[in-house]
Chain A
Amino acid sequence: MMEKSLARYIWSNTYKQQVWILLVVAASMVPYFLAFDLPKRIVNGPIQGQGFEEPDTTQRFMAIAFDMPFLGHVELFEGFPLGRVGTLMALSTVFLGLVVLNGLFKFYINTYKGRLGERMLRRIRFSLVDRVLRFPPVHFKRVKSAEIATMIKDEVEPLGGFTGDAFVQPALLGGQALTALGFIILQNFWLGMIAASIVALQALIIPRMRKRLLELGRQRQLTARQLSGRVSEIVDGIHTIRGHDASNLERADIADRLGTIFFIRYDLYQWKFMVKFINNFLAQVTPFLFYAIGGYLALQGRLDIGQLIAVISAYKDLPGPLKELIDWDQARQDVQVKYAQVVEQFDVDTLVGPHIQTLVTTPVEKLSDALVVSNLVLTDDSGAPLLNRLSLEIAPDTTVAIVGRSNSGAEALAEAFGRILWPTSGHITIGGTDLLELPESVTGRRISFVSSETYFFHATLRDNLLYGLKHAPLKTMEYGGQNQRKVKRNLMEAQRSGNPALDLNSDWIDYTSAGASGPDDLLKVIRPVLDAVMISQDIFDLALRSQVDVSAHHALANRIVEIRQAMRRRLQDADLEEIVAPFEAHAYNLQATVGENLLFGTMRQGMTGQALAAHRYFRKVMGETGVSAQLYAMGLAIAENAVELFRDLPPDHPFFRQLTFMSADDIPAYEALLQKLQNTPFEEASATDRTSIIRLSFSYVEPRHRFGLLTQELMAQIVKAREAFYADIPADLAERIERHDAEQFTASVSLMDNVLFGRLSFQEVDTTERIRQTIRDLFEELGLADHVLSIGLDFDVGSQGRRLNTVQRQKLNLARALLKRSDYFIFNRPLSALDQRAQDRIVTNILKDLHEEGHRPAIIWVLPNAQISELFDRILVFENGNLAESGSFEELSGKNGMFNQLLS
């Protein structure tokens, strides 16, 4: 249970610090009041001359002496004798010292309170996330992730700021207010009583008015939280929204919510300032009563005028602390409401116990007992029965197929094995221990559950694949020098906020449980698993399409020359060499665009074609070599052709897709431009016109566009311009352009382009697939397949793994579990997105592979079709939540029962 009262929560976690800070505040009062008293002494003493009546009088400075009962006068230090100016300087210096001391106290108190608050915030945020990690499965069906995130991020934020003031502020302000009140009462009892009763009135009325304020605050918090929940629903459900043309329904909903929030907030403002107004009014009533009643009494001679003035001047110290106290109280209630609202959401009765998730760094023993199901009853969220009183036993090394139509209870049983569905009654036990009582260090390592639902974190494919091996930090990291101190500090701080001291930088991967000995041979165990789920090719293709991090994969990058040569040989052997037009430093590449031929390289990140075209050096080279004029003529011809071809076509005509160098909207503009530039030689055309014409020539590829514009001379000229461009290239361009170099790996293009080192000719049917196959064989031959796989594993899978398709996600989800080498594998239709044949092949692969290795895990597989169940030792047939049949394939297929129906 979480502490419901914020004050108690803060006190129980920080009472030591609160007491300390109270003591410091009390100590800080001493120089504070001394500094108050000092100006009077300076003015009265050295400036006005009190005690310095004679020109050469001296006074003793800093004498420490006091009168004590029984002992009489005690003098500890007789002080320095100082003259008038000396005393002035000495007292002023003391004043300066007190100012500095006060400042330092303030500085210390504020940073201390700030740190206290931040620690508190860290503690509460952590404990909330900790609770999320322990929510029971059913709770996740009711909460929205964005709402939880808002609570943890935003709603508890003010708690941090309040923590430091929680006890110090009321003590301090309350003390000040009481002192002021006591002082007034001392001056005049009845006037004091008047002041006290007004304060009591304030204390009575204001909190009542606040009730409405608090209610509004609560509503504001709830509506804001729901808003963020809805926004995340819009993001997650965007395809559903657009697919049903419901975007305007969402607009209406959001507008409505914002309206509600607006009125709540507006109401809040009105009340807040209303309360302020009444508060101020009451505060001002007191002096009015002093003036009116006190004055009347004084006039009648019943009150001493001196007393009245003393009361009024004493009163000026009361409203300040009182107002701050009221503000503090408002903040307290506000934060208390926020806290209570959050706690309510996180206070879940059936939270998973902390002992279930304790950190275990040692290897977990193999499960050698049978999985025993006894009287198991499962129901869904609404209470509908899914499985009726099932009892069975599954031995630790058998393979069990579960078949049945959907909703037959087969999936429900698998989910119960996976602890996603908790039993309504009955138990699942292993070696006498309830599955729900087993720590996750056992169930998460020795048992693997995979369903068709996948989840991937926004990280690389590798991180996601190895996620199932990261149970605990397995290596104690050695930090040196500066880092060591930093790490130590981080650890200490974590403990102060009740956070665990787990080192994120440690190696969390449990290599042994994957059957590897360390990072070096991990790929050796990953590969067969990826092959088994038939995703190796996809990952290989991902690698081919991605840019390679040269520093991480230098072994491959260093062999690029060899790879390219081998590739060329292979293409020659397969009589495919004309498919790739290689880049040659002194030749025109017909399959590449004119622009690519000019640049003969790739632009690094941050560089654009426009930036290059605008660069002085580039323009100079283009002009001097005469290429500009030539490309201008070419651009004009392209524009003419394009306008002639496309003039009469409606803008949405599919033919426009082939027109790569302009869009349908550009046609009229170019038509007008052609008219304007008729008979205008290159020299006379304006710079903008030139640019828009030359631009066209850059994307021209002769074999593709076939306008017959590229002559041998022009090609030679372009190559010459390219050479001139690189001959004298300034440093700022050189570092932003990666020139094609047959000897070097090009970091800014994909691995495929690196291997090809040329342009693919698309003129032949089926080229891409043949090339891919060739490259695949090539890497295998060169022994670089693992490197390529590793590059593929660097792929960033995107938010929730959405950059992968559903089939890939389901395959990887399965692979992630297979890597763990558990004792029990529970597969709940894990490959539902795949077609039947592919599913059957993967089932076969896995059954074969898992049992070939020697250790025989139990496999419990909810199968999509009955045929493939022949491969399993035992078959369970479910119907309407009951176990209808059980036995081997031969036994069941011989009978005329449910299984035979499913088979046909």
Chain B
Amino acid sequence: MLLKDEVDMLRRVPLFSQIAPAKLKLLAFASERMTCREGQNLFRQGDIGDAAYVILSGTADVLVQSEAGEIRVAEVDKNSIVGEIAILCDTARTATVRASSRLEVLKISKENFLELMSDFPDMAVEIMRVLANRLNHTTNELTEARSHQQRVPT
């Protein structure tokens, strides 16, 4: 796939929709295109996060290690971004992302990602929106789990 095809693909990702094509081309050039086969980990929980990934095609499961074993907390697919939390907060990976079908991803290194955010505030807002959505989702699930738990003891 050529750089210019990638630019078309990136434009369809909501995160990058506000960014000029010339800049997207630069981003595509500065990032690595990678594949990940089905069943393989894109990254593992507990690893040090050095990059975020934009999924260009395919689907992946987001898994978290718990005392009861691995729990699937979400599924991500085309045009979504994963791995940004570890970059933003400088923590270890909070979850494992495993390909559930062959993945095409764009690997954006930590430095490039941070640079992009400062260059394009729109993108930062978009990231915030994504994170807020996730938090909302998590809060809902937590509320549900708590209420479930309170009902159980009796």
- B interface footprint on A642-675 (CB within 8 Å = 1, 0 otherwise): 0011100100011101100000000000000000
Contact B3 A706, beta carbon cutoff 8 Å: yes
Task: Find the B residue at minimum CB distance from A648.
Answer: B22
B25 touches A645 (CB 8 A): yes
Is A107 interfacial (CB-CB < 8 Å)? no
Contact B115 A765 (CB under 8 A): no
B3-A658 in contact (CB<8A): no
In the complex, are the beta carbons of B35 and A764 less than 8 A apart?
Answer: yes
The chain A residue with its CB closest to the CB of B115 is A654
Which residue of A649, A706, A765 is within 8 Å of B2 (Cβ)? A706
Choice from B25, B40, B112 contacting A654 with Cβ under 8 Å: B112
Task: Tell whether, in the assembled complex, residue B26 and residue A655 are in contact, meaning their CB atoms are under 8 Å apart.
Answer: yes
Q: Is the CB of B37 within 8 A of A705?
A: no
Q: How far is the CB of A720 from chain B (nearest CB, A)?
A: 25
Q: A763-B33, A764-B36, A766-B40 are contacts. A655–B2 as well, Cβ < 8 Å?
A: no
Q: How far is the CB of B82 from chain A (nearest CB, A)?
A: 12
- The residues of A that contact B45 with a CB separation of less than 8 Å are none
Asked if residues B30 and A655 are in contact (CB atoms below 8 Å), the reply is yes
In the bound complex, do residue A645 and residue B112 qualify as a contact, i.e. CB atoms below 8 Å apart? no
**Interface membership of A783, Cβ < 8 A:** no
Contact: A766 with B6, CB < 8 Å?
A: no
The verdict on B111 contacting chain A, using a C-beta distance below 8 Å, is yes
* A741-767 with Cβ < 8 A to chain B: 762-766
Given that A645-B29, A762-B32, A765-B34 are contacting pairs, would A655 and B3 also be in contact in the complex, using a CB cutoff of 8 Å?
A: no
**Cβ contacts under 8 Å, B36 to chain A:** 764-765
Chain B interface main SS type = mixed
Shortest CB distance B133–A (Å) = 26
B41 at the interface (CB under 8 A from A): yes
- Which residue of the partner chain, among B6, B34, B43, B109, contacts A763 with CB atoms under 8 Å? B34
- Given A645-B26, A646-B26, the answer on whether A706 and B40 have CB atoms closer than 8 Å is no
Over the window 703-743 of chain A, the binary record of Cβ atoms lying under 8 Å from chain B Cβ atoms (1 yes, 0 no) is 10111100000000000000000000000000000000000
Chain B residues within an 8 Å CB radius of A708: 2-4
Q: For B41, list chain A residues within 8 Å (CB).
A: 765-766
| Interface membership of B1, Cβ < 8 A | yes
B123 in contact (CB, < 8 A): no
Q: Is B42 an interface residue (CB 8 A)?
A: yes
Best-surrounded residue of B3, B25, B42 (most CB of chain A within 10 A): B3
Assess whether A706 is in contact with B33, with CB atoms less than 8 Å apart.
Answer: yes
A709, closest chain B residue (CB):
B2
A707 to B28, CA, bound (A): 11
Query: If the complex has contacts A645-B29, A649-B26, A764-B36, are A655 and B6 also in contact, measured as CB distance less than 8 A?
Result: no
Q: Which A residue sits closest to B111, measured CB to CB?
A: A654
Check B42–A765 contact: CB distance below 8 A.
yes
A654 CB contacts on chain B under 8 angstroms:
30, 109, 111-112, 115
Q: How far is the CA of A658 from the CA of B41 in the complex (A)?
A: 25
Instruction: Judge whether B25 and A707 touch: CB under 8 Å.
Output: no
Q: Is the CB of B29 within 8 A of A658?
A: yes
Shortest distance in angstroms between B100's beta carbon and chain A's nearest beta carbon? 14
Complex alpha-carbon distance, A764 and B29, angstroms: 17
With both chains docked as a complex, state the minimum distance between the C-beta of B140 and any C-beta of chain A, in angstroms. Answer: 31
Known: A765-B36, A766-B41. A658 touches B30 (CB 8 A): yes
Indicate with 1 or 0, residue by residue over A683-709, a CB within 8 angstroms of chain B CB atoms: 000000000000000000001011110
Known A-B contacts A655-B115, A766-B40; the reply to A706 vs B6 at CB < 8 A is yes
Q: In the complex, which of the residues A644, A653, A658, A763 contacts B35, with contact meaning CB atoms closer than 8 Å?
A: A763
Chain A residues within an 8 Å CB radius of B43? 765
Q: Can you name the residue of chain B whose Cβ is closest to the Cβ of A707?
A: B3
Q: With A and B bound together, what is the CA distance between A649 and B112 in angstroms? A: 13
Give min CB distance, A211 to chain B, whole Å. 67
Inter-chain CA distance A706–B32, complex, in Å, is 11
B40, A655: Cβ atoms under 8 Å? no
* B116-149 interface with A by 8 A CB criterion: none
Min CB–CB distance B21 → chain A (angstroms) = 12
Q: Which residue of B lies closest to A645 (CB)?
A: B26
Tell me the bound Cα distance from A658 to B29 in angstroms: 7
Chain A nearest CB from B78 CB (Å) reads: 17
Shortest CB distance B123–A (Å): 15
Residues of A within 8 A of B115 (CB): 653-655
Within the complex, what minimum Cβ distance (angstroms) separates A465 from chain B?
Answer: 31
Query: In the bound complex, how far is the Cα of B31 from the Cα of A707, in angstroms?
Result: 14
Closest chain B residue to A654, Cβ basis: B111
| Contact B35–A765 (Cβ < 8 Å) | yes
Q: How far is B111's CA from A653's CA once the two chains are assembled, in angstroms?
A: 9
Complex formed: what's the CA distance from A658 to B6 in Å? 17
Are A706's CB and B1's CB within 8 A?
yes
Name, among B22, B26, B28, B112, the residue most crowded by chain A CB atoms within 10 Å (CB to CB): B26
Q: How many angstroms from the CA of A644 to the CA of B1 in the assembled complex?
A: 20
- A764 and B37 in contact, given A654-B112, A706-B6 (Cβ under 8 angstroms): yes
Residues of A close to B22: CB separation below 8 A = 644-645
CA distance A842 to B35 in the complex (A): 37
C-alpha spacing A438/B29, complex, angstroms: 69
Among residues 592 to 620 in chain A, which have CB atoms less than 8 Å away from a CB atom of chain B? none
> Could you tell me the distance between the alpha carbons of A707 and B32 in the complex, rounded to whole angstroms?
14
Measured CB to CB, the closest approach of chain B to A19, in angstroms, equals 76
CB distance from A221 to the nearest CB of B (A): 53
* Closest residue on chain A to residue B104 by CB atoms: A763
| Chain A positions 384 through 409: 1 when the CB is less than 8 Å from some CB of chain B, otherwise 0 | 00000000000000000000000000
Residue of A nearest to B42 (CB): A765
In chain B between 1 and 52, which residues have their CB closer than 8 angstroms to a CB of chain A? 1-4, 6, 22, 25-26, 28-37, 40-43
Provide a sorted-by-A list of 28 A–B residue pairs whose CB atoms are within 8 angstroms.
Answer: A644-B22, A654-B30, A654-B111, A654-B115, A655-B29, A655-B115, A657-B30, A658-B29, A658-B30, A705-B3, A706-B1, A706-B2, A706-B6, A706-B33, A707-B2, A708-B3, A708-B4, A762-B32, A762-B34, A763-B32, A763-B35, A764-B34, A765-B34, A765-B36, A765-B40, A765-B43, A765-B105, A766-B40
6 further A-B pairs in the complex, CB-CB below 8 A; given A655-B26, A658-B31, A707-B2:
A645-B25, A654-B112, A655-B112, A655-B115, A706-B1, A706-B29
- B positions within 8 Å CB-CB of A: 1-4, 6, 22, 25-26, 28-37, 40-43, 105, 109, 111-112, 115
Residues of A within 8 A of B (CB): 644-646, 649, 653-655, 657-658, 703, 705-708, 762-766
